[in-house]
Amino acid sequence: MGFLNNTLYIFGQQNCEMKKDFASQIKRPVVIYVTIVLLLVVVFNIFLNDVLHDKVHHTGTELAKEVYELNLDPITSQDIIASIVKSQGFVLDVADLPQNFANFIDVEQEVFSYKTVSLRLFHWPAWLLESHLFILLNLILLATGYWAGRWWRSMAKSTAIKEQPVIKPQASADAQIEPQFKSQKLASPRPLPRQDLNILYGVPTSYNHLFALFFWKTPFPSNLDVDNYFKLVIAKGFGELVNRSVKLLPSGGIAVTLNNIPATELDKYTKRLHQVIYQACLNYRSDLSRADVKIGVCNYRTGADQAVVYQLTKSALAMAKQSAWQHIHRLPFGHTQSSMLADSKEHLFEYIKNKHFMLFFQPLFDLQTGEILQHEALIRIRHKNLGLLAARHFIPHMSSKNDVLFLDKIVITQVKRILSNEAGAITVSINLHAMNWFNDKFWVWFKEHMSDYEGISKLQFELSEDDYLRQHKKLISQFKCLEKLSAGVVIDNVRSAEHLATYAQLNNIRSIKLAYELIHNIDTNAQQQKIVKQIINKGSELSFPVYAVGVETQNELATLKNLGVVAAQGFYFAEPLQKLADITPHS
C-alpha cells in the first residue's frame, strides 16, 4: 500500500512539474517580449532626455547672446533680463520658480556664456520643461509596442491553427452517405469540420473532393440491390472519411463522392477507389477483368460549379472507356470555363446574333396518365471552345440591357415559330430575364408581335416567387398585358404556402412550381413533405395545380405522387429534347 501511495505521489509531482513547465513555455515568449519593450522604452527615454537637455542648453546660450546684443548689464538690468529669460522657462533666482515640484524634483542651474556675457540661470529638468513632447513620444512608442504585440500573437495563433493536426472521427455508414451535387436540405446546419474552419480564418487548405463515375460491361444479377450494396462497399472501403456519398444513376452507373482528400493523395485514392469497386464486382461477376471496370474522376475544391464538375467527370469516363489499357482517368477542375467566358463576354452576344444556339424543351409529365402536359423552353449556346452552354452559365456574363433584350426576343420568336408548325395544343413555358420584366422596350415589342398571334394562349411566362413578392406592384401593367393577350403566368421556385393567396389576384396564373430544394431528398425528409403537402392543399383551394421541378430518383417521384403533386419534370424522366415530341417517361 505504501508503494502505491509513493507511486501516486511521484506521478502527481511529475504532473505538477509538467503543468508548470507547460505554463512557463507559454508565458516565456510574453515575458521576453515585455522585457524587450521595457528596455527599449528606457533607452529611448535616456536618449530623449539627453536630446532635450541639449535643446535647453542651446536655448540658454541664445538668451545670453540676446543679452549681449541688447548691451544689457547683468547687474543693473536684472528686471529686464529676468523677463526675457522667464519667457523661455528660466529664472535668475531659484525663489522665483513655482514650488509645486520643489519637494521631489531638484532644480537645475547652469551658466550660459556668450562672449563677455555670462548668465547663471535656474530651470526645471529638461524632461519637465518639454513634458508635452516627452509624453507624446512615449505614448507613440508604447502604442507601437502594443500593436506589435497583438500582431505577433495573431500570427502565432494562425501558425498554431495551420499546423494543428486534423483528427477525423469515425462515423457509421448510414450517417455518412449523403448524395452529392444537390441543393442543401432544409435542416439544421452542421458544424464545419476542422479543415473547413480553416477557410474562415484565411488559412489555405490542401484538401480536394473527388467525384467519380463508374462503368462496367457485365450487368449485375437482377435480384441485387446495387444502390445499397455499393453504399456498404464504399463505407467499408473508406471508413476513415467522414463525408462520402454513393448514388445509383438512372443509367445503371454509380456516382461516388469522397470529400476532404489530401491533395498529395489524389492518385492514391483514385486507384484505391477503382480497386474497391473492382473487388466488389468480383463478388458477383468473377469473370470480370480490370479492363471491364472503368472510372472517370474529377477532383475539385469547395465552391466549384457542380455542373462543370459533372461534365468533366463524364469526359474523364469517356476517355477511360476509349482506352484499352487505361482504366482510370482523372481530370482536375479548373476555372477554364469561367475565365474563358469572362474574357469573351463581349462575344457571347455574337453567338446569339449569328444563331449559334439551340432550343431544347424539358417535358412536364402528368403523374397519373404519363402524358406530356407542357414543355419548358431552354436555350443552349454552341460555344466554339466550350461546347453547348446552358443559360445559367452564360447569362451571368451578359450584363448589357440590349443583349438580354435581344436574347428573349430570339427565344420567343423561335418558340412562336415552332408552335405555329405544331398541330397539337402543347403549351410551352419561357423564363424571361429579370431585366426584361421591367424593360418597356420589350413589352412594346411583345404587344406588336403577339397581338395577332392566335396561339399565344399556349405561352406561359415563369416568374420566381421571390421576384413576384418584391416587385408585384411594379409589374401590374405587365401582368395585365399578358392577361389581355391570353398568355399565362407560372410562379416558380415556391418554398411555402404562406403567400399562395396573394397569387389569386392574378387571373392568368396557370400553375405553381415547387422549389428544387423541396424536391431533393423529399423521400427521406418529413419536414419537406409537410411543406409540400401544405402547398398542395392551399393550391387545391385556389385551383392552382402544383408541379415539381428537378425530380431525379424514383423514390422522390413516388413520394411526390403520394403527396398529390399533379405533374413533374426532371432528368429522371428525360433530358431536354430538341423537338416537341410525344414521348413517354423513362424513354
CATH 3.30.70.270 range(s) for the chain read: 173-185+192-334
Give the Cα separation of 112 and 418 in Å (integer). 107
**CATH 2.40.160.20 for the 339-569 domain, yes or no:** no
Q: Is 161 helix (H, G, I), strand (E, B) or coil?
A: helix
Indicate the pLDDT class of residue 149, thresholds 50, 70 and 90.
confident
Give the Cα separation of 181 and 307 in Å (integer). 8
Instruction: Give the tens place of pLDDT for each residue, 221-235.
Output: 778 888 888 889 998
Give the Cα separation of 108 and 506 in Å (integer). 94
Residue scoring higher pLDDT (386 or 146): 146
Q: Is 496 helix (H, G, I), strand (E, B) or coil?
A: coil
Taking the complete model, does pTM exceed 0.75, yes or no? Answer: no
Which of these ranges, 32-41, 390-399, 554-563, has the smallest mean pLDDT? 390-399
Give the Cα separation of 425 and 438 in Å (integer). 30
pLDDT at res. 425: 66
Length of the chain measured in residues: 587
CATH 3.20.20.450 range(s) for the chain read: 339-569
CB neighbours of residue 207 within 10 Å: 16
User: Cα 378 vs. chain centroid, distance in angstroms?
Assistant: 27
Give the Cα separation of 516 and 520 in Å (integer). 6
Q: Is 558 helix (H, G, I), strand (E, B) or coil?
A: helix
Give the Cα separation of 528 and 565 in Å (integer). 13
Among 214, 212, 216, 211, residue whose Cα is nearest residue 282: 216
φ/ψ (deg, to 5) at 582 = -85, 100
| C-alpha atoms less than 13 angstroms from C-alpha of 167 in its C-beta half-sphere | 2
pLDDT, average across residues 6-16: 47
The answer to whether 119 and 64 are in contact (CB under 8 A) is yes
**What DSSP string runs through 401-455?**
HHHHHHHHHHHHHHHHHHHHH-SS--EEEEE--HHHHT-HHHHHHHHHHHTT-GG
Residue scoring higher pLDDT (448 or 291): 448
pLDDT at res. 266: 86
Indicate the pLDDT class of residue 520, thresholds 50, 70 and 90.
confident
Give the Cα separation of 144 and 138 in Å (integer). 10
Which superfamily does CATH assign the domain made up of 173-185+192-334 to? Reverse transcriptase/Diguanylate cyclase domain (3.30.70.270)
Indicate the pLDDT class of residue 578, thresholds 50, 70 and 90.
low
**Which secondary structure element, helix H or strand E, spans residue 299, and what is its range?**
strand 293-300
